[in-house]
Chains A and B, each alone.
Chain A
Amino acid sequence: MEETLKIVVLVKHVPDAQFDRHLSGEGHTTDRDESILSELDEYALEAALQLAEARGGAKAGNKVIALSMGPAGAVNAIKKSLQIGATEGVHLTDAALAGSDAAATSLALAAAVRHLGADSPVDLVLTGMASTDGETSLVPAQLAERLGLPQVTFASSLDVDGGRVSARRDADTHSETVEASLPAVVSVTDQINEPRYPNFKGIIAAKRKSITTLSLADIGVDSSQVGHSGSWTRVTAAEERPPRTAGTIITDEGDAGIKLVDFLAAQKLL
């Protein structure tokens, strides 16, 4: 029997990219109406569930904790994660967190992970490859730096065995395998697995799972270290790009390829 694992999966509640998304307010932050569990985080959750299931699942003592930082609505990302199969949920929420940049976010998340490891150590922190709203991919690396843990990022496959994690990474020019000791921070790509959907049983089971709410005081973070005051960057202006408008549309009458080239020539693109 392999060792049991305690895995924290970071899940983010993000505006649904299927709709128009907007920035607003003094800090030009993202509007979070119409928000969903970030699609890219579902791959991290699936990877965590597969690792736990290979070791006998929750019954054998494996833990998959869905941790989300965000305002009240973020609890929906946690609920969805519980329906999909996470064993428990943790909601880090505090008015002072609003407007946190990656540095402040990683500070709060690092403190939350330490807090969750206080009774028994966390073996793995799993994240998606990026959030679908901020899109910076900074947080996993910053979290690893703050926790002093190895980072194994952009994993397209993942193995955990004997206290070590190994992963495959695919870049444009090369592929590589990397290895690190546990605990580690691992981010996974959308190539790693096919995330499952919550089924009826999962939805019913989720109602009995607990969601713990943590404030900044609970994790020992001062409100000045996060939010706008704790952030090291500031968005000073934001302007919505004018929508593109349709140009000339033609129907092929046997010479559209030539017309395409005429268009490119006229635009000096040849």
Chain B
Amino acid sequence: MANVLVFIDNPGQALKKSSLELLTIARSLGETAVAVNGELSDDVAGTLGAYGAATVFRPSAADLDDYLVAPKAAFLATVADKSGATTVLLENSPEGKEIAARLGIRLSAGVITDVVAIDADGTAHKSVLAGSYTTTAKATTAVTVLSVKANTVDPEPATAPGTPETVTVDAPADATAAAARITSREQKVASGRPDLTDARIVVAGGRGLDGDFGPVEELADALGAAVGASRAATDAGWISHDAQVGQTGKTVSPQLYISAGISGAIQQKAGMQTAKVIVAVNKDAESPVFEIADFGIVGDLFQVLPQATEEIKKRKG
């Protein structure tokens, strides 16, 4: 059986759903080892065992978080060698992809990003050109490095949980030599809403909101959804740039995408056209978004959205 290595960066007090998904995928491919950077609580160690991890590798150095990407890739390369992994799985965050990038060079391994499914033979499935193509790709190298998108499998613990063995690994001496140092870090205030990239439902607003995201936020909260925005709305400063969905922002594939006051030009479409169901509300019947919407409403979003929010609250009791 193949050896699969999963990288989990700073798990905190409980593993994220996306980490559990990586562990579930890993188990389907072979024997799982996990590399953890940062603190490892007893609860997390227990969950790793429950999800079938046989070995947990930890760095001897505690300062990997003080540097950008490079030392984490160096640590992971050492673990990959030690564990004999032929597949390495990482989360598909910007940092996850960059760690994958550098790890690939260190291991002379092919890297595939944005993976949504992995076959038993290591073939990876992904979509490219803003969701207009689905492709399969395969590394031609001994080791394959894959960054896997969230929400691709349902997390499932192993049938026979175990207690993983913990191994401490020295990162290579040159790991931090040529790395950018993080000199300060500020946490942003958490919105309490789900993460935009992983959310099951996204409610997004654009130019038509004319500066007032209230109706979008209220509908999002009634649905337990994340809030997104078009580039016009983020460029106007009505909402944080983090919320931008589109070609130069985030790509989302939720079960439901509600687009309000967004014309749906190609820049926006690129970020959301793989959503399962698209609902659009726009004053202008000619908006391109209606060409791809499963349900479209030509109307005033300041009327339609609050009415929908009230109705959802009523039905949910």
Contacts and interface: CB of A to CB of B under 8 A. Distances in A.
A233 B315 contact: no
Contact of B296 (A103, A184, A248): A248
Given A175-B185, A257-B303, A252 B101 contact: no
Interface residues of B, number: 92
Given A247-B296, A250-B298, A257 B311 contact: yes
Contacts of A167: 180
Contact of B140 (A21, A132, A234): A234
Interface stretch (A45-53, A201-209, A261-269): A261-269
Interface in A224-270: 231-241, 244-252, 254-261, 263-265, 267, 269-270
B85 interface: no
A269 B294 contact: no
A135 B140 contact: no
Q: Is the interface of B mostly helix, strand, loop or mixed?
A: mixed
Nearest to B174: A148
Contacts of A144: 70, 102
Interface SS majority for chain A: mixed
Contacts of A261: 308, 311-312, 315
Of B178, B190, B274, most A-chain CB atoms within 10 Å: B178
Interface stretch (B29-37, B105-113, B205-213): B105-113
Contacts of B184: 176-177
Contacts of A23: 128-129, 133, 135
Q: Which of B108, B295, B300 has the most CB of A within 10 A?
A: B295
Interface string B129-153: 1111111111111000000000000
Interface in A122-166: 132-142, 144-146, 148-154, 166
B316 interface: yes
A64 interface: no
List of 9 A-B pairs having minimum Cβ-Cβ separation, nearest first? A257-B307, A252-B299, A232-B110, A141-B101, A180-B180, A247-B294, A257-B308, A233-B110, A249-B296
Given A232-B104, A267-B277, 4 more contacts: A170-B242, A237-B135, A247-B296, A260-B311
Interface of B: 68-70, 73, 94-95, 97-98, 100-102, 104-106, 108-114, 123, 127-141, 178-188, 190, 195-196, 201, 223, 241-242, 247-248, 255-256, 266-267, 270, 273-274, 277-279, 281, 285, 290-300, 303-312, 315-316
